[in-house]
Amino acid sequence: MDMQKNLIDRVAMGDIFRRKASTLPHLDAVVEFREGTRRCLSHRQFNESLNRVAHMLRSLGIQPGDRVALAGPNSIEFEQVIYRCMKGGFVVIPLNHLQGREDLVYTINHCSAKVVIVEDSLADKFDGIKSDLDSAEHWINMVVTGCSVSSHYLDFQTAINNASAEEVIDVVIKDRDPLQILYTSGTTSKPKGLETSHLALFMNTLAAIIELGVEPKMAGSSRYGLYVGVRN
């Protein structure tokens, strides 16, 4: 498929961040309050960080369509992984880290995740299932709380700091390509994976904008930055 034609015609969620970085570079994109401190990335900063995550994953041999499992409460780091997967054509699987060992092992093996990215506060829990995973080749630690982790983890922040911030525009993405798989809780049987495509999430987002009455002049305001949570 012609790359330039794909860039023009496609509905790809990751393109939103590239465009916002160009049109509204200095406005808030993502905001988090952590231990009383406001952390914020502008659209330009957030887009650059997403590019770094993509290049970091590529350096590990991760290709478009590969699965990336992600575990952690909401944080800026969590959002960087989610939205970078959208830009790079990777498929992200946000894990329910409150699930038990058996369901976590099943979920990661069922989706054939090649990368497992874990917040440091959950590292011990995931160390306990590492030997039972079939496809996981790389383990990455997101330092959020400062907990010590095993040496087999690649440090997330160090890895993205060493990666390029250049825009990634060489990935062909089709409207109905999956961008995430959400697993059910598995209360009556094994967890079941529900795929969401780029087009489906785009239409869901558009419906929310219409329902909330967001006007074009509001869309770039700090009021509509992504607030990812408060941590004490």
Give the model confidence (pLDDT) of 69-87 as tens digits.
Answer: 999 988 888 888 898 888 8
DSSP tag of 209:
H
CA-to-CA distance for 44 and 88, rounded, in angstroms?
17
| Res. 218 pLDDT band, cuts 50 70 90 | low
8-state DSSP, 70: E
Tokens found for residue 142: 């997101």
Instruction: Please spell the DSSP secondary structure of 7-75, one letter per residue.
Output: HHH---TTHHHHHHHHHSTTSEEEEEEETTEEEEEEHHHHHHHHHHHHHHHHHTT--TT-EEEEE-SS-
pLDDT tens readout for residues 130-182: 999 999 999 999 988 888 888 899 999 999 999 999 987 788 899 999 999 99
Q: Provide the pLDDT confidence category of residue 36 given band limits of 50, 70 and 90.
A: confident
CATH code of the domain made up of 3-231: 3.40.50.12780
Statement: residue 220 has pLDDT above 70: no
- Backbone angles phi and psi of 41, in degrees to 5: -125, 135
